Structure 1
Amino acid sequence: MADKKARDGLTVVIAGASSGLGKGTVRRLASEGANLVLGARRAQLLEELVEECGPNAAAVQMDIGKEEDVKKLFDTAMEKFGRIDVWINMAGVGLIGPYTELPTKDLQQIVQTNILGTMYGSHYALRQFKKQKSGTLINLGSVASKIAFPYYTAYTATKYAVAGLSAGLYQEMELENFEDIHICMVHPWATDTPWFDHAGNYSGHEAQMKPMDDAENVVDAIVELLDNPQESVEVGVKTKGSSISSNLMPGLTETLNAKYLNKVIQDAPPAPPSSGSLHEPMESGTGVSAGLRERMKKE
C-alpha cells in the first residue's frame, strides 16, 4: 500500500498552469499527492503536465479572461472531484513601454486577463467555498501591487486592482463570519520565469529586470499558504524592503525606483515592438524558469 501523501484528497484548481510559477506550483503539489485541475491556453503543455502528474490531474484548455472558460474550469473540478479546496489565480500577462506607445487593444487585453480573469476565478471559487463553508483563494500579486512602476504602468494598474479586490474579499469573509474561508495574496519581486518573454513590450529594449528572484522561492510561499493562510505575503527581501521603504518614504522610494527601472530598460539590448502573448499564446517559454538570470550575466 502506497504511503499517504501530505495532500491526499485536497483538490486544487490552478488557472495559469502551463509555465512559470503556475507550473512550479503544480509540480510541487502533485509530488505531495493533491488532486489538480489545471487551466491554461496551451493545450499540449497542459496535457504533458497532466501526464507527468498522474491520474489525479485534469487539464482544461481555457482563457481566464473569458467567463465561459472559467466556468468550464470550475465545472471540470466539480465533476471530477466533487469539491474545490484551493483555487489559485495565477494567469497574468505583462505590458511594458511608454504608456502612450501602448496599443489600446493591448491595454484592453491586459485588463481582460489580469483584472476580469482574477475576478471571474475569485467569483466561481468563493461561491463554492461558501457552500462548503471552507476553502482558500490565492491571487497572485506583485511588488507592483504596492509600488507604482513607470513603463510598467498598465501592469501596475491591474495589480493594484487585484490587491483591492483581494482586500475587499478578505473583509467580506470576516464580516460574514466565514472563519474557514481564506483570501490570500502573494507579492513576488521580479522573478525568473517566462513572464518577461511573454510580456507585450514596446520599450525598444528586451524585457528584463535586475536583480531577479528564483521562481522556487515564490512557489514555496504559495504552497505555504495552504497550511498557514495569510491575507498578504511579500516574497523576498527586495519586495519586503521596497514595501517598508515605500511606507516610510513613499515619494523618495518611487523616485529612486523609477530612475533605476529606467536605467535597466535603457541598458537592455534593443528589441522590436511586440504584443507578446497578450492575444495569442506563444510556443516559447514553457518552463518554470526562463533562464533569464544566466542570460543577463552573458550580456
Structure 2
Amino acid sequence: MTSSIAGVAVITGASSGIGEATARHLHAAGFKVALLARRRDRIDALAADLGDGALAIEADVTDRDALVAAAEQVKKELGGADVLVNNAGVMLLGPFSADQRGDYRQMIEVNLLGAITTTEVFLDQLTASGRADIINISSVAGRTARSGNGVYAATKWGINGWSEALRQELLPTVRVTLIEPGVVATELPTHITHESTNTAVNEMYSKAEVTADDIAEVIAFAIGRPRHLAINEILLRPSTQV
C-alpha cells in the first residue's frame, strides 16, 4: 500500500476476520491502530503482536458509554482518529419467525445502530483531522436479499443508504467508502443459531477462497488514495459467486 497519509485508525470488530486483517495492513503501512472489540484476550494478543502503535480497547458497539470512553482513550493516547473502520457485525441468518427475534434485534443493534453510534461518537475527531476516512463494511446482502437473510439484508441496506447520505454531508473533509464483500473465509457464519441454516452456510463458507486479507488490501487501497480522489463504493465477490 502506498498511503497518502499516516495517522490513527480505529477499527471495530478488530478481534478477528476482516477487522484483524485490516489492523495488520494499516499498522504495516504506518498507522497507529486502536483495536476495538468485546473479546479482550484477542485484541490484547493482537496488540502485543503488532507492537508499538497498537492499542487494545475493550468496547461493545451497542454500548455508547463504552464507545465514548474508547474515544477519549484514543484521543489521549494516540492523538485522535483519522480513520474509522466500522467493521463489527453479526450474520445470524435463518427463517423469519418469532423464534429468531433475539437474533433480529442483535443484528440491528450491532450492524446498523452500532456503526451509526460509533461514527457519531468519533465524528468530532474525524472532522478535526481534516483528512479523514470512514470505511463502512456492508455486504452483497446490502444489494440482494435472499430467503432466510431478510433482517441481515435490512441492516446492510440500511448501512448502504446511511453511508451515501453521510458521504454527501461530510465531503470533502471526510471521505466515506462503502465496502460490500460477498463470501469471505471468516468466522462470521459460525454464530448462526438456527441449526440447519448454520450447517448449510458453514458448508458454503468452508469452500471460500476470498480471505480477510483480500478485503483488508482493498480497504487499505481506498484509504491510501490521494485526497482529491474518493472511492465511494466497492462491491467484490469471489469470482465463482453468483
TM-score exceeds 0.5: yes
- In 2, distance between residues paired with 1:48 and 1:180? 34
Q: Which residue of 2 aligns with 1:143?
A: 140
CA RMSD in angstroms, aligned pairs only = 2.2
Give the letter for the 1:44 counterpart.
D
Q: Which residue of 2 aligns with 1:104?
A: 101
TM-superposed CA distance for 1:8, in Å, is 8.2
Q: Which residue of 2 aligns with 1:219?
A: 216
Q: Which residue of 2 aligns with 1:120?
A: 117
Matched, 1:193 2:194: no
- In 1, distance between residues paired with 2:197 and 2:8? 43
Percent pairwise identity: 26
Matched, 1:180 2:181: no
Matched, 1:37 2:34: yes
Alignment of 1:254-265 (within 5 A): none
Q: Which residue of 2 aligns with 1:289?
A: none
Q: Of 71, 77, 81, which aligns to 2:78? A: 81
- In 2, distance between residues paired with 1:122 and 1:186? 16
Give the letter for the 2:190 counterpart.
D
- In 2, distance between residues paired with 1:136 and 1:85? 7
Give the letter for the 1:180 counterpart.
T
The question of whether the paired residues in 2 share the 8 Å contact of 1:7 and 1:29 is answered with: no
- In 2, distance between residues paired with 1:13 and 1:218? 17
CA deviation profile, 1:158-178 (whole Å, cap 9, x unmatched) = 1111111101101112xxxx4
Q: Secondary structure at the match of 1:139?
A: strand
Q: Of 121, 126, 129, which aligns to 1:132? A: 129
Cα 1:221/1:109, change in 2 over 3 Å: same
CA deviation profile, 1:210-229 (whole Å, cap 9, x unmatched) = 66322222111111111124
TM-superposed CA distance for 1:29, in Å, is 1.7
TM-superposed CA distance for 1:187, in Å, is 0.5
Matched, 1:60 2:57: yes
Matched, 1:234 2:235: yes
CA deviation profile, 1:51-73 (whole Å, cap 9, x unmatched) = 00112111111111111122122
The question of whether the paired residues in 2 share the 8 Å contact of 1:37 and 1:77 is answered with: yes
TM-superposed CA distance for 1:205, in Å, is 4.7
Q: Secondary structure at the match of 1:33?
A: coil
TM-superposed CA distance for 1:74, in Å, is 1.3
Q: Secondary structure at the match of 2:33?
A: strand
- In 2, distance between residues paired with 1:144 and 1:194? 17
TM-score (norm 1): 0.72
- In 2, distance between residues paired with 1:32 and 1:7? 10
TM-score (norm 2): 0.88
CA deviation profile, 1:215-271 (whole Å, cap 9, x unmatched) = 2221111111111241111123659x86xxxxxxxxxxxxxxxxxxxxxxxxxxxxx
Gaps of 5+ in 1: 243-299
Gaps of 5+ in 2: none
The question of whether the paired residues in 1 share the 8 Å contact of 2:57 and 2:70 is answered with: yes
Alignment of 1:238-277 (within 5 A): 238=239
Q: Secondary structure at the match of 1:91?
A: coil
Q: Which residue of 2 aligns with 1:156?
A: 153
TM-superposed CA distance for 1:82, in Å, is 1.5
Q: Of 11, 22, 35, which aligns to 1:14? A: 11
Bigger radius of gyration = 1
Aligned residues: 233
- In 2, distance between residues paired with 1:102 and 1:144? 22
Give the letter for the 1:107 counterpart.
Y
